[in-house]
Structure 1
C-alpha cells in the first residue's frame, strides 16, 4: 500500500519520494534533523540501530541503505522533530511558525473511517468501534477518539498515538524486536490522560509477550520436528513442483531442484530464498537462508488434474511473524516449467 503510494507521489510530482517528502513536508515544518533517506544523513549518522535476538542476546542490525521501500518507512527523525509532526497532526495541518501543510478538509478525511475493523467492548478502554481512515487507525477509548499507527523495520518498532480531543500526541520509538515495550509505554501514557488510574501496563505486556513467545516456540518446534522426520523425496516426486510461478504483486518465484532437494527463490526479493522441505501432503516449509529473516513460511501447492503443480500460496509458520510480510496476500500461478 505505502510502497505504491510512494511510487504515485514520484510519478505525479516528477520528483523522487525522498525529495518530495523533504521539500514539501519536513523543511516547511522546520524538521531540520529529519531526512527521508539514510543516504541523506551524512557520513557519520547519529541514528539508533535496530536489534534482533540471536542465541538469546540482542544483536545490532545494520541500517538498511535501500531506498526501494522508502515510502513504507524511510524517514529518519529526531525526537524533537517528531513533536512538530505530532503538533501538525493535532493542528489539522497547521502548526505555529510554519505554513499550512494540508487543508482542514484533508485532515477530516484522514480521520474519517474508510474501512471498518471489528472491535470488542471488553477491556478497560470500553472500545465500541474500530476503523481505518487514510493512513490512521481509529478507535474510541473511554469515550475519547484515539488515532494511531505503528511501524516496523528489521529490529525496530515505533508507534504514534493521538488523542485529539485532549490535545495529546505520543510517539514511542524502540530499537528492538517485538512491540510489547512500545505498546506498554503508549498504553500507560494513554491511561493517565483518559482517567484510568492503577494500571500496570509493563508487567501486563511482559506477560503477553512471554505467552506469545512460548506459543511461537512450541509451534516452530513442532513444525520443524515433523519436517525433520519426513522421508527424503526422490527426484521423480520433486518434478511436479519444479517451475516458475508468478504473483501480481511479488512477481516471479522459481522452484528448482538441487541435489539436496527443492529450492525456493523469489526473483524480485533475493532475500526470500531457501530449501523447500516436505511437510504434509502438498505443503512444504521453507527456511530462509538470509540471516535475521525471522519469517519462515509454509508453501502450499495446488495440483491440476494431471498431478502437476498449478499454483501456490504461502503463510507464516510462526504466529509471531510480522504481518509486514503479507504472505497471505500472495497467490501464485505457474507460468512455465
Structure 2
C-alpha cells in the first residue's frame, strides 16, 4: 500500500487545488512542486510514484531529471570562471578548444563563449540532437564537437534564434578547459557544494548508493509505464551540460532562493555576473499564446535563461524536457517569487498550465481562469483543423519487410555526423540500425509505395520515413512522419551514403 501523501504546505494553500487538479486531469504518475516568496519556502509538496518499485513514493528529496534547466547551472558555472579570471564572455571558443570548428570555418573562428549560450549559431532547431538522444548511446563529447563541422546552417551566424543543445556541450568543455578539471567536478565544486545543493547529481554516479530517484514514465494503453529506467550506475552523459543534471525539490528550492537573494550565498557570484546571466542577449519570437496569456511585450534569451514580461512584471524562466520527464522553473525577481515543477511523466501541458496558474496567483490575483481553463486552452490549440488532420501510418499490425526487400540498396552507410549505419537483413527481416545509437534500431516496413522505420524502443510518434535513392552510389534520407514530432529527432539533417555491403554479404550489388 502506498505511503501517505507528503504535504509540507500550509493548510488550504491555493497551490494544493492547482496541483491536485493538474494531476487528476493529466493523469501524472508523480510531481513535486515548490514556491519561494520573499526568500521563504511557502509551499512544498511531493506526490505520486517514483516508479522503481510499486510502493516507492516521491518526496522532497527524490531526484528528478531537470533536463534543460541544467543550462542555467552551466551558465552559472561559466560565470564563476569569468569572475575568477579564467575566461571571458567574449573569448573566442578556440582560445580554449583549438580544434573547434563549424560548417563555415569563419563562424568557427568568430564564435565566442557567450555565443555558445544564446542559440544564435545559425544551426536549425535541435540540429545534431540525435548525437545526444535517445540515451544511452556511444557518442562522446569529442564526437559531438567534431560533428558540428558537418551540420549545415539554416541562417547566418548571430542573425536569429533557434534552440540548440550542442553548443551547451561545447560550453561544458570550454568550462573544463578553462577550469582545469572535468565539467562534472567543476559543477560540484563551483555550484552544488557552495550553494548547498546536496542531492544534485552530475557525471557518473551510483544510483544504488544515492537512491530515491524518480523514473521516467510514458502513457501506454491508459497507464503510466516506466521507460528507460536507471541501471545501477548513471553514466557520464555527453549531454550533461545541456540537460544531464538531476536534483531534488529541496535542491531546486534552494537554487531559487540563492538566485532571488544574493545574501543567501555571500560571495558566490558578484553583482556583475548575476546581471550578465539575466541580461537579454538574443531576441526571441514572441508567440501569439505568450502575448495572450502573459500580456507580454518582449521575449529573449540570456545566459541559460528565457527572459520576458508577465502582466507588466519581469519573468526569468526555463523548462526542461526529456522522454518521460518534464521540469519548469520561473522567477519573478522584482517580487522575489519563484516556482518550480518536477514531473516524471508525460507532462508538457501539465507543467505549462500549472506554472501559468501559479504565476498568475501573483501577477493577476483574483483572476477567474484556473488550471482547467489553461488546460482547455492548450487542448483546443493543439487540436488539428480538419484540413491539417490526417492519419499517420498505423504500423502496429504491419509486418516487417522481408530480407529481400530493397535488395539493391542493402548495405553499410555513412552520415557525416551521425556516423555508420546499416540497412541489412537480420533473421529474415530488413533492419535499419545506427552503430553508435543502440536505440536507433528499427524494422523497415512498407506503407504503400513508401518505407517506414518502426523503432524498437521509441514511441510511435518517432517513426520516420526511409527515403532511399537508387543512384550510382545509393543514399538514404530520413523524414519525420508526425509533423508535431519532438525537434530533437532531427532526421532532416541526415544524409547517408552507401559505403559497402552488409556484413557477411560481399556479393556484387545488383
Q: TM-score range by the shorter chain?
A: 0.7 to 0.9
Q: Which of 218, 222, 227 does residue 56 from structure 1 map onto?
A: 222
Q: Take 1:287 and 1:246, find their aligned partners in 2: how far apart are those partners?
A: 20
Q: Take 1:115 and 1:90, find their aligned partners in 2: how far apart are those partners?
A: 23
Structure 1 pair 46–309 and aligned structure 2 pair: CA distance change class (3 A)? same
Quote the offset at 1:79 in angstroms.
1.9
Q: Take 2:434 and 2:242, find their aligned partners in 1: how far apart are those partners?
A: 20
Q: Which of 351, 355, 358 does residue 182 from structure 1 map onto?
A: 351
1:92-131 residue pairs with structure 2 within 5 A?
A: 94-101=262-269, 104-105=272-273, 107-120=275-288, 122-131=291-300
Structure 1 pair 119–55 and aligned structure 2 pair: CA distance change class (3 A)? closer
Report the counterpart of residue 173 of structure 2 in structure 1: 7
Q: Which of 248, 252, 255 does residue 85 from structure 1 map onto?
A: 255
* 8 Å Cα contact 1:52/1:177 also seen in 2: yes
Q: Which of 307, 310, 313 does residue 138 from structure 1 map onto?
A: 307
CA deviations over 1:266-301 (Å, ceiling 9, x no partner): 1111111011223465x53211112x5455332443
Report the counterpart of residue 491 of structure 2 in structure 1: 327
Higher share of residues assigned strand: 1
* 8 Å Cα contact 1:301/1:313 also seen in 2: yes
User: Which deviates further from its counterpart, 108-117 or 193-202?
Assistant: 108-117
Structure 1 pair 81–71 and aligned structure 2 pair: CA distance change class (3 A)? same
Structure 1 pair 193–97 and aligned structure 2 pair: CA distance change class (3 A)? same
Q: Which runs of 5+ in 2 are unaligned?
A: 1-165, 501-510
Q: Take 1:255 and 1:95, find their aligned partners in 2: how far apart are those partners?
A: 59
Q: Take 1:39 and 1:50, find their aligned partners in 2: how far apart are those partners?
A: 18
The reply to whether residue 158 of structure 1 matches residue 323 of structure 2 is no
Report the counterpart of residue 438 of structure 2 in structure 1: 270
Report the counterpart of residue 372 of structure 2 in structure 1: 202
RMSD over aligned Cα atoms = 3.5
Structure 1 pair 234–81 and aligned structure 2 pair: CA distance change class (3 A)? closer
* 8 Å Cα contact 1:302/1:311 also seen in 2: yes
Quote the offset at 1:58 in angstroms.
0.9
CA deviations over 1:166-192 (Å, ceiling 9, x no partner): 222111111111312212210001111
User: Which deviates further from its counterpart, 126-135 or 20-29?
Assistant: 126-135
Q: Which of 37, 40, 47 does residue 213 from structure 2 map onto?
A: 47
SS at match of 1:181: helix
SS at match of 1:149: strand
User: Which deviates further from its counterpart, 10-19 or 100-109?
Assistant: 100-109
Q: Take 1:319 and 1:136, find their aligned partners in 2: how far apart are those partners?
A: 27
TM-score (norm 2): 0.56
Q: Which of 448, 467, 477 does residue 312 from structure 1 map onto?
A: 477
Q: Take 1:237 and 1:227, find their aligned partners in 2: how far apart are those partners?
A: 21
TM-score (norm 1): 0.81
Structure 1 pair 37–114 and aligned structure 2 pair: CA distance change class (3 A)? same
Q: Which of 15, 32, 36 does residue 202 from structure 2 map onto?
A: 36
Q: Take 2:389 and 2:204, find their aligned partners in 1: how far apart are those partners?
A: 37
SS at match of 1:170: strand
Quote the offset at 1:37 in angstroms.
4.5
Q: Take 2:220 and 2:446, find their aligned partners in 1: how far apart are those partners?
A: 26
Structure 1 runs of 4+ aligned residues shifted over 4 Å read: 209-215, 218-221, 292-295
* 8 Å Cα contact 2:392/2:482 also seen in 1: no
Structure number with higher relative contact order (C-alpha < 8 Å, ≥ 6 residues apart): 2
Q: Take 2:221 and 2:397, find their aligned partners in 1: how far apart are those partners?
A: 22
Q: Which runs of 5+ in 1 are unaligned?
A: none
Structure 1 pair 208–237 and aligned structure 2 pair: CA distance change class (3 A)? same
Quote the offset at 1:261 in angstroms.
4.2
Q: Take 1:236 and 1:60, find their aligned partners in 2: how far apart are those partners?
A: 35
Aligned residues: 326
Report the counterpart of residue 103 of structure 2 in structure 1: none
Q: Which of 441, 450, 455 does residue 288 from structure 1 map onto?
A: 455
Structure 1 pair 110–310 and aligned structure 2 pair: CA distance change class (3 A)? farther
* 8 Å Cα contact 2:444/2:452 also seen in 1: yes
Q: Take 2:483 and 2:297, find their aligned partners in 1: how far apart are those partners?
A: 27
